[in-house]
Amino acid sequence: MERNYILFDTPARELLYPFTHTRPVAACRIGILTIREKWEYWLNAGISYLTVPHLQKKYPLKKDEAVYAVLIHGHVLPDETLVQAIQELQPGQELYKGDEPIAKVVAGNNLDAEAVERKEYLGAVSRIRMPWDFFLLNDQAIRSDFELLTKERVSAPISDTNKVTAPERIFLEEGAVVEHSILNASTGPIYVGRNAEIMEGCLIRGALALGEKAVLKMGSKVYGATTLGPGSVGGGEIKNVVMFGHSNKGHDGYLGDAVIGEWCNLGANATASNLKNNASTVKVWMEAYNRTESAGLKCGLLMGDYSRCGIGSMLNTGTVIGVSCNIFGGSLPPKFIPSFSWGGADGLEPYRLEQAVRDAGMWMQFKGRQMEAADRQVLEALFTILRD
């Protein structure tokens, strides 16, 4: 019988705020692809989402009582061994790693059915547990995706105007433009997506994933492991950053060990610290816990969808900016800025919903896409949830 693959969220999704305020876990990007896209490549099948109600319309669930449903934990990253273990599961079986679920197979639409047999997976499992895992695991994710996407394929030609090290680890998709830059792939692969561009004078040290139609501005300094998702723009100095897509850091300023959602903008000379002056552990505000958690020695900016900071912005180590925020001013703002906030170091005010939706739509339009009803519905529902 055919199988209906579904990536499901659990309450653990709340630990990945602000990014999962506006998407299921599996819609997050790490490496070259989103988690969902990785599973679709490995399984050679379409996959839908089982998530919280305010996201389900934009990220629909496919049910089919004529097939078996295979539910896979949305935090888990696939690899060959794990995919094989999941494909071998039979109806009524579930796969665990220790006390943590990985997948289960149930009949038809009965997605809440309890499995009757529990199997233990003995291999290693990569999971996204905390927001900083996106950049901590990004190097391996880029390498895995690079192998997946380029296997038995030939790169578009690399212009001889570039200075290249390890060209066998560089892959340019059709329409990619790279001229007069230094590309060092000895430290990790460099992937340049369809119609993406690396402008003149860029210094790139892999691993790097540049999504479709993404752009690196002239003279950018980028070192791994960095992902600039589709439609994104990078500039200045960027290190170990994951940018989900359609966001801009187009000018000078430093951004390191950071995660940036979609439809975001960092103004000219915006700089975010990723290391405390005394080299002690970075504490990050966890919205779901209402307390701080240790994120290791390095953690920069964590910025949710539709948020922006103005020119000359200075952001402290481990700053968390929620969804749809507008931050400005030259002094350091608070390290936690709740969703739908407006202001900076001198104080924050609530961002009125109609203005927030209008400005998000304007940014999407600037980046070449119209806001759809599902996008608006997510923002309106999230505003109501957080206000209540």
CATH code at position 206: 2.160.10.10
Task: With CA atoms as reference, report the closest residue to 247 among 211, 208, 201, 206.
Answer: 211
- Could you list the residue range(s) of the whole structural domain that residue 170 is in? 134-387
Please give the structure tokens belonging to residue 175: 């329409």
| 74 and 159 belong to one structural domain | no
Give me the pLDDT at residue 102, please.
97
**End-of-domain residue from the set 74, 104, 129:** 129
| 103 and 247 belong to one structural domain | no
Number of separate domains in the chain: 2
Q: What is the pLDDT of residues 195-237, one digit of tens each?
A: 999 999 999 999 999 999 999 999 999 998 999 999 999 999 9
Q: What is the pLDDT of residues 128-183, one digit of tens each?
A: 999 999 999 999 999 999 999 999 999 999 999 999 999 999 999 999 999 999 99
| 225 and 351 belong to one structural domain | yes
| 139 and 237 belong to one structural domain | yes
| 109 and 122 belong to one structural domain | yes
Give me the pLDDT at residue 329, please.
87
214, with CB counted inside 10 A (0-12, 13-18, 19+), is buried
Pairing of strands 68-73, 3-8: parallel
| 291 and 191 belong to one structural domain | yes
Rounded CA separation 388/372 (Å): 25
Rounded CA separation 146/138 (Å): 12
| 329 and 369 belong to one structural domain | yes
| 139 and 104 belong to one structural domain | no
**End-of-domain residue from the set 129, 145, 165:** 129
Task: With CA atoms as reference, report the closest residue to 188 among 142, 119, 233, 227.
Answer: 142
Give me the pLDDT at residue 224, please.
83
Rounded CA separation 4/348 (Å): 46
Confidence of residue 387 (pLDDT cuts 50, 70, 90): confident
| 185 and 241 belong to one structural domain | yes
The share of the chain scoring above pLDDT 70, in percent, equals: 100
pLDDT of 66 above 80:
no
Give me the pLDDT at residue 314, please.
95
Confidence of residue 81 (pLDDT cuts 50, 70, 90): very high
**End-of-domain residue from the set 79, 104, 129:** 129
pTM given for the model: 0.96
Confidence of residue 1 (pLDDT cuts 50, 70, 90): low
| 354 and 230 belong to one structural domain | yes
| 217 and 250 belong to one structural domain | yes
Mean pLDDT to the nearest integer, 71-100 = 96
Which CATH number belongs to the domain containing residue 52 in this structure?
3.90.550.10
| 153 and 242 belong to one structural domain | yes
Give me the pLDDT at residue 116, please.
86
